[in-house]
Amino acid sequence: MAGAIINCAVTVGRAVDISTGACMYHNYGLADGEHDCTRAGLAGNVVVGDGSWVGIGACARQVVTISRDLTFGAGASATAEVTDGPTVVGVPASPIVRSVPAG
């Protein structure tokens, strides 16, 4: 999409969606089925698993892994490996904890 930045040494998988203003930096691999929303910013050597969704304005510092089939919420920031899910949000990114009603 318009304004997306794909830097040097970036590989692109199949069925990838890169939205307006998303930035992918060096040595980054776009996984199969990955969706990067508007203004997502992924630093060098970041790994995102197949089928993951990177929300609007989400970012990950360099050398971070985000697991497959995960929703990385809008504005979330990964400062370390993100393997729990299926949805992570916040700064630093952590899983949404849903309570189960008693009974």
CATH number, domain of 32, equals 2.160.10.10
CA pair distance 83, 101, nearest whole angstrom: 26
Residue 8 lies in a domain: yes
Please write the tens of the pLDDT for every residue from 64-88.
Answer: 988 899 999 999 999 988 887 789 9
User: What average pLDDT does range 32-40 have in this prediction?
Assistant: 93
Report CA torsion sign: 29, 57, 53, 91: positive
pTM of the model: 0.84
CA dihedral (93, 63, 7, 38) in degrees, to 10, reads -10
Number of domains in the chain: 1
Residue 36 lies in a domain: yes
Sequence-separated (6 or more) residues with CB below 8 Å from residue 81:
64, 65, 66
Task: Quote the tokens at residue 74.
Answer: 């809008």
Indicate the pLDDT class of residue 103, thresholds 50, 70 and 90: low
Residue 102 lies in a domain: no
CA pair distance 71, 91, nearest whole angstrom: 15
CA pair distance 50, 56, nearest whole angstrom: 18
Residue 89 lies in a domain: yes
Report the mean per-residue pLDDT for the chain.
Answer: 88
